[in-house]
Amino acid sequence: MIKKYVIALLISLSHISLANEMNVIDSISGNKRLTKLNEYIVSSELSKNFLQFESLTVFAPLDDAFAALSAKTYYGYLKEENKNELQSLVNYHFIEGNFFSKNITDTLNVKSLDGRDIEIKKINGIIYMNGAEVVESDISHKTGYIHLINKVLIPK
C-alpha cells in the first residue's frame, strides 16, 4: 500500500520537475487554457526571441480573455499586414526578469519587451498587471514564471 503512494508521489514530482525544465514557449503551448496566446505567438514569429532570455515573466491572457475581444479585433491582429501590431501586443505581455507572487509586495513599475510601461501591483493579496487581474500565478518554466490574467492588454 505504501509503495503505491510512493510511486504516485514520484510521478507527481516528475511532472513538476518536467514543468520546470520546459522553456516558456513549450509551457504556453502545452497549457490548454492558453491556445489563443499560443496562436498569437506563433503568428507573430517571436518564439525564438523569447528563448534567448535568461529570465522571463509572462502575464498570459487566458483563452476567455481573448473571447472578450471582438472577432474583428481578434482576427485583425492575425492578418499579415498587421504583424507589427501583433508583435507589439504579444511583447506587451512579456517582461524580462523573474517576478513571482511573493516578490511582488506593493507596486512595481517595469518595462514590457516592447518598451511600454507596466505597473504590477498587489492589492489585498491580488496581483494586477496594468489593471488585468492575475487569476493564477507562479506557473514556472525553465527561465521564469507565467501568470494567467483575465484580460488581453492592448498597447496604445
pLDDT-based confidence at residue 140 (cuts at 50, 70, 90): very high
Indicate whether 7 belongs to any domain. Answer: no
Whether the full predicted model's pTM is greater than 0.75, yes or no, is yes
CATH code, 47:
2.30.180.10
Q: How far apart are CA 134 and CA 23, in angstroms?
A: 21
Could you tell me which residues come within 8 angstroms of residue 47 by beta carbon, excluding any fewer than 6 positions away? 25, 41
> How does the average pLDDT of the chain come out, rounded?
89
Indicate whether 1 belongs to any domain. Answer: no
Indicate whether 77 belongs to any domain. Answer: yes
Q: Which helix (H) or strand (E) segment is 123 a member of?
A: strand 117-123
Q: Are 136 and 148 in contact (CB under 8 A)?
A: yes
Q: Is the dihedral of CA 64, 65, 69, 74 positive or negative?
A: negative
pLDDT of 130 strictly over 90: yes
Say what the pLDDT of residue 14 is: 41
- SS3 (DSSP) at 109: strand
Indicate whether 6 belongs to any domain. Answer: no
Q: Are 98 and 108 in contact (CB under 8 A)?
A: no
49 lies in which domain range? 23-149
Indicate whether 47 belongs to any domain. Answer: yes
Q: What is the pLDDT of residues 43-66, one digit of tens each?
A: 999 999 999 999 999 999 999 999
Report the percentage of the chain scoring pLDDT > 90.
Answer: 83
Indicate whether 35 belongs to any domain. Answer: yes
Q: What is the pLDDT of residues 106-120, one digit of tens each?
A: 999 999 999 999 999
Q: How many domains in the chain?
A: 1
Three cell numbers, residue 109: 513599475
Nearest by Cα to 147 from 84, 56, 69, 20: 56
Three cell numbers, residue 47: 518564439
Indicate whether 135 belongs to any domain. Answer: yes
pLDDT of 18 strictly over 90: no
Say what the pLDDT of residue 84 is: 97
Indicate whether 17 belongs to any domain. Answer: no
